Structure 1
Amino acid sequence: MANVSALSGMELGLTDRIGAFLRNLQDARGRHKVYRQTVKELSALTERELLDLGISPSMITSIAMEAAYGK
């Protein structure tokens, strides 16, 4: 909802709100795609390969979250 909150204080018409919703939806889908792809790629590595990268298998989801959402 960054687009809507950035415009707070202004009265938005229905068209503007729908446009902001669709942009936010597209952004969310893109971020989720990055998350899924990161999990898929890291999960395809062997435990040895992950350890060579300094990654524990239990860290995969948190790394994917950070890559996609910055959290």
Structure 2
Amino acid sequence: MNLIQPKKLLLSKWTAMEIVAKQKHFIVTKLVEPMDPDQPPELIEIEAVYSKAVRQIPWRDLCDDSQWQRGWK
């Protein structure tokens, strides 16, 4: 399990364990702020390095070692 602090996610690098459409390496480009400013962000935007495609995922998905690895491997 990857231990993650939401405040330190911005511009972090990740490797997807399952490659889809040549997209394996990603960078966290944005933390999607919740409606209530007292709450931590629930979603992040990740950008594929190869295709520049952007998608939103829950940041807690990055904790799953079977889906994501920290850094570029």
Higher relative contact order (CA 8 A, sep 6+): 2
Greater strand percent: which structure?
2
* Same structural fold, with TM-score higher than 0.5 when normalized by the shorter chain: no
Please say which structure displays the higher CA radius of gyration. 1
Greater helix percent: which structure?
1
TM-score by length of 2: 0.22
TM-score by length of 1: 0.22
